[in-house]
Structure 1
């Protein structure tokens, strides 16, 4: 560290220089409650096609895989983007699936990846969740929705390249 930098640093620590001013946040919108309509509006602005299922959840397909946009919690304050890979795998591939998902979860934060046994086959899921109890700005909501959908599609593309073909694709209703 040069003498000039050391002196500036020392002056700042000892109070000899003014504190840096805080910049106002770029997004000055006040957080508002997350609603199904707000999620739907985001999807519409992106030109995405989706439907409302029998449970009242927004759902659609991206690259052949089904995604749901869920509002969970006592006050619908938790946003969850859950994806289900379009393929199912035989139970005999559980070890390979476990290794692939373990590798994914170890190397990445999003999405959480897991496997469930459904009707004698393995179904693979992606999940991104965020608690917006105090509400969310449009930018915050858009960021988590894009993250959940984008990283879910990335996970499923990686699985296509990693896991051998086998097993029938599940029936996924069209939009």
Structure 2
């Protein structure tokens, strides 16, 4: 027995709505050449993008702001696997870029039937906050890791954003 097609009753997912939720947090971000939103939290770049045929998936992608030599690839990969064995998100992947180990996180959810502002807030907090926890583990394990020249993210404003949000924007 199949059910009738589901008509969305929630507002549709759009990057404009994601931007509104980031604005409500006082986030510092810009739009990149692909039209995605990009900002920095604790010096790590994050992208906010809609993907899929109908742009129905929201993806929060983070990148560790440091890199280690290729000799550490296996160790970083094992750390990502350990994290993934016990944590629901984010998805973590490790790859070589310009002869250095790069680490990315992703938290992607399908909102084909629409999404509330509260769900967007939860997605942003979970995607950024969980990535920052993993990046903090990497920072602890590799205190001498080399900062990377990440893709452009907006420069911080002169004022300090001061509130206790686990996905707080940073000024560096």
TM-score range, shorter chain: 0.7 to 0.9
Aligned residues: 145
Unpaired segments ≥5 residues, structure 1: 1-29
- Deviation readout 1:18-47 (Å, 9 max, x if unpaired): xxxxxxxxxxxx411110110000000000
C-alpha root-mean-square deviation of aligned residues, in Å?
1.2
Runs (4 or more) in structure 1 with deviation over 3 Å come to none
> RCO greater where, 1 or 2, for CA within 8 Å and sep 6 or more?
2
Partner of 1:170: 148
SS at 1:42 equivalent:
helix
Q: Distance in 2 between matches of 1:164 and 1:63?
A: 15
Determine which of 98, 101, 107 is the counterpart of 2:86: 107
SS at 1:82 equivalent:
strand
Unpaired segments ≥5 residues, structure 2: 1-8, 155-172
SS at 2:66 equivalent:
strand
Structure whose alpha-carbon radius of gyration is higher: 1
- Deviation readout 1:105-124 (Å, 9 max, x if unpaired): 11101111110111111100
- Deviation readout 1:62-120 (Å, 9 max, x if unpaired): 00100000100001100000000000111000121111111111110111111011111
Q: Is the 8 A contact 2:89 2:107 kept in 1?
A: yes
SS at 1:110 equivalent:
coil
1:164 Cα deviation after fit = 5.2
SS at 2:53 equivalent:
coil
Partner of 2:166: none
